[in-house]
Structures are given as C-alpha cells and as structure tokens.
Amino acid sequence: MEEKVKFEMEFPIQVSPSLLYQYISTPSGMSEWYADNVNSRGEYFTFIWEGSEEKAKLLGKKSGERIKFRWMDDEDTSYYFELRIQVDEITKDVSLMVTDYAEEDEIEEGKMLWENSISDLKQILGSK
C-alpha cells in the first residue's frame, strides 16, 4: 500500500464556534453537509454516500473545539482526519481547520472534496 501524505486546509467561516461544532461533531450535523447520512453507535460512525458506506472510529473530541476520526480501512495505520475550530484571539475570526491524508497522486482530489463539502457547510450556515 502506498504511503499517504498529510495535508491541512483552513476555511474561514463566519459563524459562532458553538454552532459550527454542532455541525462537525454530531451525526445529524454531519449528514447535512459531509455525507448523505451519518449514523453513530458509541465511538463508531457510519458515513453513507449514494449507497456506499464507510465506517470510522472516533479517536477523540474536545467539546467546542475539535473531532478526530480514523477510517476503519486505515485501522492499522496512524492516518486520521480531524476537523478543528480555530478562533483568532484578536479578531475573533473563526476558521475550520481540516487535517487529512491521501496518496500523493490523490491530494488534489482530496482537497477538492473538502472544498466542496465545506462550501456546502458554509451555505447551510449562511456564511460567506
């Protein structure tokens, strides 16, 4: 299996951190922008897109701040994806930081998927 490369992205979002956290940390919130449907049973989440299912394990979360998952396909690896809310202490600007991994030749595609998903999220939140 090819090594995956870590990439990070920052998306400024004009919304309160507490509202944003609801959309990145709950199955109902994530099913509005990230997947067609999201179910959770304890620390295991099932993401459903057009009939295909991906399972992920919740690795950790900090209320109001971040949530981190590992795909079950990557269970024996250190790969994960994390959604983290960052608030600038001076300007109070809110950004959603995305950390993910992809194979070298799939990084651009991975970034595009996140850009599309976050664009949907911003639309739902009424953010620019």
DSSP character for 75? Answer: T
What's the pLDDT at 53?
95
Which class for 83: exposed (0-12), middle (13-18), buried (19 or more C-beta within 10 A)?
buried
Tell me the CATH number at 81: 3.30.530.20
Helices (H), 3-106: 17-25, 27-30
Give the number of domains in the chain. Answer: 1
Report the helix count and the strand count for the chain, using DSSP H and E. 3, 7
Structural domain containing residue 111: 4-125
Pick the closest to residue 23 from 81, 71, 64, 75 (CA basis): 64
pTM: 0.93
What's the pLDDT at 1?
59
In angstroms, rounded to a whole number, what is the distance separating the alpha carbons of residues 42 and 51? Answer: 22
Q: pLDDT per position in the chain (128 positions), as tens?
A: 579 999 999 999 999 999 999 999 999 999 999 999 999 999 999 999 998 999 999 999 999 999 999 999 888 889 999 999 999 999 999 999 999 999 999 999 999 999 999 999 999 999 87
